[in-house]
Amino acid sequence: NKPEAKIVQIDEYRVDFTPEGYLLLAPHIDQPNMIGQISTILGQAHININGMQVGKMTKAGHNIMAIAVQDDIPNDIMLKLRSIDGILGMKLIHCETQS
């Protein structure tokens, strides 16, 4: 068994996930329907969510979502996601696994 990599913090955000595939990082204001809006846009674009975690920021009232998706997210969908009221920035990263 080789050790598995884990990401446990991004800047001031506490998270816990395995870095593999595509990860959508979405810092946002902690308010109702943030998860719903993002998952609706992804679902309408036929982008499958493999997993998701919400982590608290050290700054009160702000969270981050780390969303594992199956495929790359097209630019037009990223623009829709970034336009959600309360999103503080959004990045899609591709994590390559080492064999």
CB-based contact 92:77 (threshold 8 Å): no
Higher pLDDT, 58 or 30: 30
Predicted pLDDT at 19: 77
Q: Which of 16-25, 46-55, 90-99 has the lowest mean pLDDT?
A: 90-99
Predicted TM-score of the model (pTM): 0.83
At 25-49, the pLDDT tens digits run 999 999 999 999 999 999 999 999 9
- How many Å apart are CA 27 and CA 23, to the nearest integer? 13
Type and span of the H or E element at 78 = helix 75-82
Instruction: Count CB-CB contacts under 10 A for residue 91.
Output: 12
- How many Å apart are CA 75 and CA 46, to the nearest integer? 14
